Structure 1
């Protein structure tokens, strides 16, 4: 009687109430989806979802890559490979004004390629780069803003855990998402470095130039960083050449990182137990979110919300880009309130049909969506990367970190606009490699 929009509005009200009661997002989505689907289609079929959906998610081989990426990132940190990335890039650009910040952006991108997680990238690079920048006279705003914004590259630089989740929920090949992200990720690195240079140009005293290393010294550092180059080459080269599947590439990355940690004698019983425990805990959390999202999708579909929204937007006398802009604005607002994965899995069941109904490619939308929700990781009031940096050095106020993020947020908005206006930046490479 109240129609699809009314039914789903009641469902979302229940979901928000459960979240307000501090029930984990995955469980809250599962409960809402069960009750909503039960009201529409009967509680008999709804009960079966608690058996079929967990079994489908847990038996899906494509999702097995999630714990492998998490473990690979932990091993890369313990073995010192993340330090190698930073030293190598700093040797090349550290003599620029703001060069240490540019090296941090490059280090975040490099670590993101072996980690796949934005919070892990921000935390790791924060521990490595923040003391170095502050010691060399960088302003706290630029130092923390660079790391918080650079940390979001862990989500965009493939391979990425969020891309795996999107590919599963959108039923797309994850390798297509990885390939589509390469050019936008490179664009992200370039624009963030430009943001650093603009910041330094406006406030010269915020980032003194470092010493210029000779080519002999750079070669020595490069030789000392061969481990991380081998690891990235093995994972990325094997993946994009077709030698490895995604799971195999992640397994090879874990093996390489483990061998380096073993060879450098950096593994202890305590570190191994901590890594395994953190990997298991984070994997369980992600799986619960995916299972809850799958059950919630049944409710949204049964309520016929995707079809109703597609018809409603189709009837509007506005260009499709206006609709896309409105959806992106919604994600920017959601990013201020929700954790990033949560905002994606909650909205994807009804947003993706609208986007594809407008004629857009779901692979392109995956990249645009990830860029939009990664911006939420540095915007107030949640801004998880900001709080990670504040936790590393509590002497730096939150308002200082948020102030330092402003130029990077502008660069991210510019990047989103460019990829929206020129979809070929994301789609050309996947089509060329088919």
Structure 2
């Protein structure tokens, strides 16, 4: 068996394990270890597994992950998400579908200090869903608004997905964060536009309460602690004052201090946030370690280079190749969770993408958008299940039907990224 055939067999075996409902980290690690045994023998494979695990745990660039996770957990425990929703609710008073728009805006803002779409969707479901139900919004429309807004946490920095992509692609996380900001804002506006279009038949008439512009602006200033954490941490990255790791440390520390000073964070709440951060970070690092073993195997089989050579020999156009890659991401997004999808696909696709002349920073933003699409795509959209788990009276059929119109937004953004690459590349070029 040639090494190329072995590589393809390994990828196929990994997908078989996933379909057998094995954990992502286990499927990746098993294929990587067995593949390395077949290629290099047991002693070398054992050494690679040990050094790969150690190097991943020791990787300074990945230390940003537990810090951003901690910042998000503390922010959630300090009720920042509730204050963001309250501010957005006042600002959108009198607008048809105002609560839906408010949930999307608050989710996007909370995602800017949380970095996790699942955590954002879970937090916003507890806050916004009861309010929308009380106001007379249809359940499918309400759930879809929260799911769509929650997915913004992957794209708007800080993004754990982009940190992981940067470590795989050996690309600056700061540039990735800068590249994702404008597409993230565009996607949030697209979600809001869809929400407004659906509000006529899915939402009640606009609230008759009168709110002056001064009251709206004052409401936006009330969640000052969010703005402070965001400006200091993420603004520090953009200004070149902090590295992403330093910004994550300062952001997490700042969120803890603000929570205690405002008495919205208790000692017990802080301990729970630390425990949750440790569990989430351990799960993420297990997946990354498994992916490192899998990537090592894939690189040795020269699978990406062989696929690139085949595509070039077949004289496939770059547009067709990218279209196929996007289609594969969309299909995988229907069945895999986001981090696993990135760790499985990027080691294979990135050399092909760069071989056809595409910018790896641009591709990172594209990957984040496609992962975001997967989070809200039936049948296994993670955000959809998070919302359903917290709303016992909500059926999955209702959630599926409600989310379908919102899928147009990330699809449109993908088209815009191909048509106008500077949408992602302009800000990094200006800042760096």
Q: Same fold (TM over 0.5)?
A: yes
Counterparts of 1:103 and 1:91 in 2: how far apart (Å)? 8
Please give the residue correspondences for 1:185-224 in structure 2 after superposition, counting only pairs within 5 Å.
185-201=184-200, 203=201, 206-210=203-207, 211-224=209-222
CA contact (8 A) 1:136 1:208 kept: no
Q: Which residue of 2 aligns with 1:238?
A: 236
Counterparts of 1:32 and 1:200 in 2: how far apart (Å)? 48
In the TM superposition, what whole-angstrom CA distance separates every residue of 1:299-357 from its partner, at most 9, and x where no partner exists?
Answer: 11111111110011112333211111111111111011111111111111111111111
In the TM superposition, what whole-angstrom CA distance separates every residue of 1:215-244 from its partner, at most 9, and x where no partner exists?
Answer: 343354344322222122212222211122
Q: Which residue of 1 aligns with 2:300?
A: 302
In the TM superposition, what whole-angstrom CA distance separates every residue of 1:76-115 from its partner, at most 9, and x where no partner exists?
Answer: 1121221221122222223210121111111111000000
Please give the residue correspondences for 1:133-144 in structure 2 after superposition, counting only pairs within 5 Å.
133-144=132-143
Counterparts of 1:221 and 1:305 in 2: how far apart (Å)? 54
1:20 shift after superposition? 4.5
Counterparts of 1:171 and 1:46 in 2: how far apart (Å)? 24
Please give the residue correspondences for 1:36-55 in structure 2 after superposition, counting only pairs within 5 Å.
36-55=35-54
Counterparts of 1:249 and 1:321 in 2: how far apart (Å)? 37
DSSP-derived class of the 1:152 partner = helix
Counterparts of 1:322 and 1:345 in 2: how far apart (Å)? 23
| Residue range with higher mean Cα deviation, 221-230 or 321-330 | 221-230
Counterparts of 1:2 and 1:62 in 2: how far apart (Å)? 35
Select which of 382, 403, 406 maps to 2:404.
Answer: 406
Q: Given the superposition, is the C-alpha separation of residues 30 and 216 from structure 1 closer, same or farther in structure 2, using an over 3 Å criterion?
A: same
Counterparts of 1:269 and 1:98 in 2: how far apart (Å)? 38
DSSP-derived class of the 1:323 partner = helix
Counterparts of 1:223 and 1:380 in 2: how far apart (Å)? 37
1:367 shift after superposition? 0.5
DSSP-derived class of the 2:112 partner = helix
Q: Which residue of 2 aligns with 1:32?
A: 31
1:12 shift after superposition? 2.5
Q: Which residue of 1 aligns with 2:81?
A: 82
CA contact (8 A) 1:335 1:373 kept: yes
Please give the residue correspondences for 1:122-133 in structure 2 after superposition, counting only pairs within 5 Å.
122-133=121-132
1:29 shift after superposition? 1.0
Select which of 350, 357, 370 maps to 2:355.
Answer: 357
CA contact (8 A) 1:138 1:208 kept: no
Q: Given the superposition, is the C-alpha separation of residues 3 and 63 from structure 1 closer, same or farther in structure 2, using an over 3 Å criterion?
A: closer
Q: Which residue of 2 aligns with 1:103?
A: 102
Q: Which residue of 1 aligns with 2:346?
A: 348
Counterparts of 2:38 and 2:204 in 1: how far apart (Å)? 60
| Residue range with higher mean Cα deviation, 275-284 or 18-27 | 18-27
Q: Is 1:368 aligned with 2:387?
A: no
DSSP-derived class of the 1:181 partner = helix
CA contact (8 A) 2:74 2:270 kept: no
Please give the residue correspondences for 1:383-422 in structure 2 after superposition, counting only pairs within 5 Å.
383-422=381-420
Counterparts of 2:221 and 2:12 in 1: how far apart (Å)? 57
Q: 4+ residue runs of structure 1 moved beyond 6 angstroms?
A: none
DSSP-derived class of the 1:376 partner = helix
Counterparts of 1:282 and 1:395 in 2: how far apart (Å)? 28
In the TM superposition, what whole-angstrom CA distance separates every residue of 1:335-386 from its partner, at most 9, and x where no partner exists?
Answer: 1111111111111111111111111011100100111111111111111100
In the TM superposition, what whole-angstrom CA distance separates every residue of 1:169-196 from its partner, at most 9, and x where no partner exists?
Answer: 1111100100010111111011111111
Counterparts of 1:99 and 1:212 in 2: how far apart (Å)? 13
1:117 shift after superposition? 0.3
Counterparts of 1:380 and 1:61 in 2: how far apart (Å)? 36
Select which of 418, 421, 424 maps to 2:422.
Answer: 424
1:22 shift after superposition? 4.2
- Structure 1's unaligned 5+ residue stretches are none
Q: Given the superposition, is the C-alpha separation of residues 364 and 207 from structure 1 closer, same or farther in structure 2, using an over 3 Å criterion?
A: farther
TM superposition score normalised by structure 1: 0.95
Counterparts of 2:218 and 2:281 in 1: how far apart (Å)? 38
Q: Which residue of 2 aligns with 1:179?
A: 178
